[in-house]
Amino acid sequence: MVTVTVNTVQDEIAAVEISGHADYAEHGQDLVCAGVSSIGVGILNALEELAEGECSLQMDSGFISIHVLNRHNETAQLILKVMLIQFQTMTETYKKYIQIQQMEVAS
């Protein structure tokens, strides 16, 4: 299962971790993993291009980590909220393969 963990501070996204594998289908045929990867990589690219220096980004096989360095940056927040909406849309159809955990954390 893919887990998307979103940490927020006062309704602002502070960190996101995407981990795991969907196991929806065989490797190379897994549409859920492909969708998650496309969203994740697209968001990383958007953050690098449009919110340069506002986030710490890490990507490895089956893992993406985003730590927002400046939570008040409107561009970074907008990009991350778009990402969250995309994953919420995926869970409507594929809730057995992807879960979203949202947690309010102290600043």
What residues are annotated to the active site? 21, 33
Structure tokens at 72: 């008040």
Residues in the chain: 107
How remote is the C-alpha of 9 from its chain's centroid? 16
Strands 63-68 and 98-104, by their bridges, are unpaired
Contact between 9 and 106 (Cβ < 8 Å): yes
Give Cβ neighbours of residue 63 (< 8 Å, ≥ 6 apart).
17, 18, 19
